[in-house]
Every structure is written in C-alpha cells, then in structure tokens.
Amino acid sequence: MASSATTSQQGSRFGQAIVNGVAASGRMLRNELALALRTTAGKIGLPLVIFHLILATVGPLLAPYSATDFQRDEDNRVLQLQSPNTTYWLGTDNAGRDVLSRVMSGASSIIAVSVAGAGLGIFLGTVVGMSSGYKGGRTDEIVMRVMDGLMSFPSLLLALLVLSTLGANHENIIATIGVVFMPRVARVLRSVTLSLKTLEFVQSARLRGEPALYIIFREILPNAIPVLAVEASVRLSYAILLASSLGFLGLGVQPPSPDWGLMISESRNFLVDAPWIGLAPAAGVASLVVGVNLLTDGLRQARGLPVGGDHD
C-alpha cells in the first residue's frame, strides 16, 4: 500500500513538473516575442508571419471563388490563362481556375504541414537532445552517433526516401519533416543541456533528490527557451521550403487541391505566356520564409545570441 501510494505521488509529481515546465516555457516564449518586437527585424518579421497565419485561417473563406472551380464566360467557355484584371485580380491558370483564390486557399495547407512538421521535429529533438545530454556517458555517445547518421542525409533526399516508401499524404509528410529536423534540434538542445546541467540551480535540484524528468522539464527546459525559440523559427523556415519542394515534386498535396509548391510546378510550362500563375504562389512562399527569417534574426538580436552556421 505504501509503495503504491509513493508511486502514485511520484507519477503525479512528474506530471505536475511537465505541466509547470510547459507553462513556464509558454510565458518565456511570449517574452521572447515581446523582445523581438524591439528590433527592426522583429518589427517587420512578426507582422509578416501573423499576416500569413491569418491568411491560412480565413483565406479559404475570403477567397472570391472556389479554388477548384473552372471559371467560364457567358458562352460557357473556360477562361484559361486570363491575365490579371478587375474580375480576376491575379488572372486564371491553365485550367481556368482563379489564381488569387488558389493562393489564398493554399496558404492553409503549406503552413499547417510546415508548422506541424517543425513542431514534431522540435518536440522529438528536445526530448532526445535534453535526455541524452543530461544522461551523458555511453548513452549520450550512442544517441548522438545515431543523430549524426540521420544528419548525413540531405534533408530533401531523406524526405524523398521516406515518402516514396510510406506514400505521400499529410500525416506522412508531417512525420517526415519531423524526422528530418529531429537530429538537428537534438544536437542544439544537447549542447544547451550540457552547459546548464553543471550550474548551481541544477545541482541544488539533484541534492534535493529531484527526479531526472523534473530537473529536465522544470529546471533546464525553461532556461533553454531563448535558444529553443530561435531554433524553432529556423526549423519552421526550412520546413516551409521542404514542404514547398515536396509539393513541387508532386509528393505534397495532390491535385486539384491548392498548394503553393504544386502551383509553382504546374506553372512551369506557362511562365513565358502567363508568368502570374507561378509568381503569385512563389511570392507567397518567399514572403513567408522572409518573415520567419526576420523574426528569427529579431530573436537572435534581442538575446544577443551568435549567428550559427546551418548545413541543411
């Protein structure tokens, strides 16, 4: 009975430690965004990111036409390759679909996949990196060699290998992006954990007899938020580019659903006669990536963090 009660108390304590750690991390993340707004890059980047998030949320509702409907004239002829005009602000594509409506509707797809994939990679990388760094020793060496093995594959090549095996759908794309970015996040969080676990507040927690999970999530994780926030924004930027590349190669959202990468791919044969078909979704991808990168720079500048090299 006593053993059961002790186990129950420990389990409750672990759960409370995780909840407290996540809550503290949320508060610190809000503080990071507030700090980023004090920099020029943050003032430009954050509104760009917010604009795209709003577009992803309400874009399909505000689109003037259905993203998959063929636009026709009074004689029921499909209006293919119409140049931008007062009726179709960004023109129509080779199938007679309104480009503006497809761009507005396609934002939700690429942002949802990118955010979910990057979030999964951040979560897995944080758990693996912090656990490995805190444990140390042989376990740390083995885990990091596995991470190095995964990092030896170029991101796009690894994604193609996974998706060609599992098949292309939203779930597999998200899982693939998460697996691709996990080792990179793990190495960063491992380094942070190695530097933090020797500090006095962690040693004090150990002396109090706190369990490893409590120390990792309650003591170390909140203090790693500045680095984690920058790493998350970097991974999100790469996730957008990777998701767009997969869509361009036909491994993302399948036709006729709108997707910015797929729209760019479909416009290749019409770039000379109808450049607006490809320029509109390309501008969407570019502005989103620029916004995320500027926000990342703002976070770095606000915290005085060094600009590390990235080898994706």
The Cα 61–Cα 272 span in angstroms is: 31
Architecture category of domain 7-70+84-303 in CATH: Orthogonal Bundle (1.10)
pLDDT recorded at residue 296: 85
The pLDDT tens digits along the chain (312 residues) read 555 555 555 556 555 655 555 555 566 667 767 777 788 888 899 899 999 999 999 988 999 999 989 998 888 889 898 999 999 999 999 889 999 999 999 999 899 999 999 999 999 999 999 999 998 889 889 999 999 998 888 888 888 888 888 877 888 899 999 999 999 999 999 999 999 888 888 888 888 888 888 888 888 888 888 888 888 888 999 999 999 999 898 887 778 888 899 999 989 888 888 898 999 999 999 999 999 999 888 888 877 666 554 545
| Residues 205, 149 contacting (CB under 8 angstroms) | no
Per domain, the residue ranges of the chain are 7-70+84-303
The Cα 228–Cα 216 span in angstroms is: 14
Among candidates 55, 108, 95, which has minimal Cα distance to 253?
108
Q: Crossing angle, helix 40-62 and helix 2-36, to 10 degrees?
A: 100
| Residues 224/230/231/237 CA torsion (nearest 10 deg) | 160
Amino acid at 260: W
**CA angle, 294 then 27 then 214, to 5°:** 120
